[in-house]
A and B are shown apart, each in its own frame.
Chain A
Amino acid sequence: MSGVRTIDGRDLQPPEPLERALEALDTLAADEELVLLLYCQPQPLFNILRTNGFRWQETIQDDGTHEIRITKA
């Protein structure tokens, strides 16, 4: 893994977290990871990831933060 890019969307109003995530996905390298922090489960993003060949792992932290780690499949 050459690098990790993190987007903390917890203080951003929709659709800004999704906009930033899409911009990052556009240029995500094969050996890069995108970490997205949110207070909700971003189903619209999951649909986009599913249809564009990305895989992701989601964990929910104690404070309700959803941590989504995205890489190219």
Chain B
Amino acid sequence: MHPNLSFEQAPPISVPYRFFLTAPWFGVAAGLLLAWLGEDAFASRWTPGILAITHLLVAGFMLQAMCGALLQFIPVAAGGNVWKPRLLAACVHPLLILAAALLVTAFLTTESRLFLAASHLFALALGAYVLVVGTALVRTPGQGNTLWALRFAVVGLAVTLILGVLLAQALGGLHSLSLIEVTQVHAAWGLGGWALMLVFGVSYYVVPMFQLTPAYPAWLAKALPPAMLGVLSLWSFQLSGRVDGWQRGVFIAGLATAGVYAVATLYLQAKRRRKVSDPTLVLFRGAMFALLAIFASGLLFVLIPSLGEEAMAPLWIGVLAIPGVFVSVISGMLYKIVPFLNWLHLQQLAGLTQVPPNMRQMIPERAITGQMRLHFGAVAAMLLAVPVPSLSRAAGLLFAASCAWLGWNLVTGVRAYLRFKGRILAADSGHES
């Protein structure tokens, strides 16, 4: 194959894979913690248990997957060069695991030294990550709306980090803060300014590419990131410690911005040129419907304040957002990215003599479909557990099982890579001898 071509893919495959392979196990831990805590976890959004579960998902599952994906995505989709990606990943990956574990333990034990230790580790790991990745995104000669959104996402990550470090330091007794207001702003930047912004940028690239849809309209792709940034800036006025009535309008504007993206994605998927369905498409669709459900619920909570003031209201939105939107999107994305990266790197190895294996041979489709069904079942069970907390244990176990299956499917993908790599190298050495 391609005897006249040489291949060079950056970064090494081990860079994103260490993050991808770690992410699902934080989901397993979150599910098991929910099963262990049972009904108590869902009493309010402020219980130590639910804060620990939330951070296992956002600072564990999501952060691992997103940091790994961005390191891969910058060279492939934005044409940027990340400085020493192997070294960066080798430092940031273990530090983030340790920081997330410390933070979760801090929430469960309310031990102030653990909050401080977690804040230092997050500052170190994510500070270095933002610096290196931000530089790559600023210096790249690439252009386009994916790059545009990725730049906003890194700003979102930086703001989330700063507020998160301040909060952890306040919980560690270092200084005092308006904890509730700063938490509201921290959560909004984390979910809207970092996670959703990254999903915007990645979607602009991978939805047309993998789902064979038309491209996102350029004006919309351009407008969504600054619109979300504007909303988040207005939302940040709460940092003064005062929450005015107009903030309800800002809340709805933020959800509406996300809703516009969801409608656009569903519309493009309906217009796809080849009506082939696969689990990635279904996971993406599920996530988009969850985004629309968040918008509808948010509107209802603002219009009927007595409903919005219920303790279960933020929990309902949280379950829709984190497992419903982000875990779904990330799972769907991983099921495309891992086989594609396997293929790309094997293509490089096989360049001189052999045909690399088909992408579909990397992870069995039946296993992906089964895991996807279990995931949606777990999300439904968690949503039901918000009004019926007695279901919490079952929901937690379902979610843990679904994440473990995702983790195993990714391990299967990596084992396929290693198997094919072994065959290619063996055949090459056979030719040489």
Contact = CB atoms under 8 A, between A and B. Distances in A.
Given A15-B343, A41-B79, A44-B76, A25 B208 contact: no
Interface in A28-71: 39-41, 43-44, 46-48, 51-52, 63-64
Most buried by A among B4, B75, B210, B276: B4
Contacts of B77: 40-41, 43
B180 to A, nearest CB: 43
A11 B209 contact: no
Interface string B93-124: 00000000000000000000000000000000
B214 to A, nearest CB: 7
Contacts of A39: 208-209, 214-215
Interface residues of A, number: 22
A24 to B, nearest CB: 10
Interface string B60-80: 000000000000000111110
B340 interface: yes
Nearest to B216: A64
Interface in B374-429: none
B209 A40 contact: yes
A15 B344 contact: yes
A52 B6 CA distance: 6
B5 interface: yes
B273 interface: yes
Given A11-B274, A51-B8, 17 more contacts: A10-B212, A10-B273, A14-B209, A15-B344, A25-B5, A39-B214, A40-B208, A43-B75, A43-B76, A43-B78, A47-B9, A48-B5, A51-B7, A52-B4, A52-B5, A63-B215, A64-B216
* Interface residues of chain B: helix, strand, loop or mixed (majority): loop
Nearest to A64: B215
Contacts of A10: 212, 273
Nearest to A52: B5
Contact of A26 (B5, B212, B218): B5
B286 interface: no
A59 B7 CA distance: 24
Nearest to B351: A22
Task: Categorize the interface residue count of chain B.
Answer: 20 to 34
Contacts of B4: 25-26, 52
B2 A23 contact: yes
A2 interface: no
Contacts of A44: 9, 76, 344
Contacts of B10: 47
A7 to B, nearest CB: 15
B245 interface: no
B8 A47 contact: yes
B359 interface: yes
A46 B5 contact: no
Contact of B210 (A13, A26, A43): A13
B12 interface: no
Contact of B79 (A13, A26, A46, A48): A46
Interface string A2-16: 000000001101110
B305 interface: no
Given A14-B340, A43-B76, A64-B208, A22 B5 contact: yes
A44 B79 CA distance: 9
Contacts of B1: 22
Contacts of A48: 5-8
